[in-house]
Amino acid sequence: MKKSWIGAATLLLLWVSGARAGEVSYGAGVTLAESTSMAKILADPDAYVGKKVRIEGKVADVCPAKGCWMELREGEGTVSSLRVKVEDGVIVFPVTAKGQLAVAEGVVEAIPMTRDQYVGWLRHLAEERGQTFDEAKVGDGPFRILQLKGTGARIAGP
């Protein structure tokens, strides 16, 4: 009986340590125990602005130039997503993270913009992706960007 208990405990430890073996930590890592749904944040962003949260999802995109942001997406069908923006050069997310599961932590921030600033930002995003941009499709506002000012993350390996 004792040998089977030891064997089961060993297998459990190997399984638990293997579950994180492919993960890579970035920045200060992730310290909050529970995640907040991106859908919940987006439904009432002002309730979260300035607050530290943990979010999780699939990496939908990564900054192709400097790795200074990644977009996390949660859910199937109706999808919620947030950009995790980090200080340039301090944390660098690899483009190869696209499609991987990730957990990120940071402070929710809302950046107000004029229409010209918002158009410039959208144009920049389109250029990064090699896409065309049509300014005529931008509405009248108000304009702001909601994102997570990231302090740390964990990304699962392939």
DSSP H or E stretch at residue 81 = strand 80-85
This prediction's pTM: 0.78
Residue pLDDT tens, the chain, 158 long: 444 433 333 333 333 333 355 899 999 999 999 999 999 999 999 999 999 999 999 999 999 888 999 999 998 766 799 999 999 999 999 999 999 999 999 999 999 999 999 999 889 888 877 889 888 889 888 899 999 999 999 999 87
Cβ burial, residue 105 (10 Å; 0-12/13-18/19+): buried
Architecture of domain 22-155: Beta Barrel (2.40)
* Dihedral of alpha carbons 131, 128, 158, 85, sign: negative
Domain boundaries, the chain: 22-155
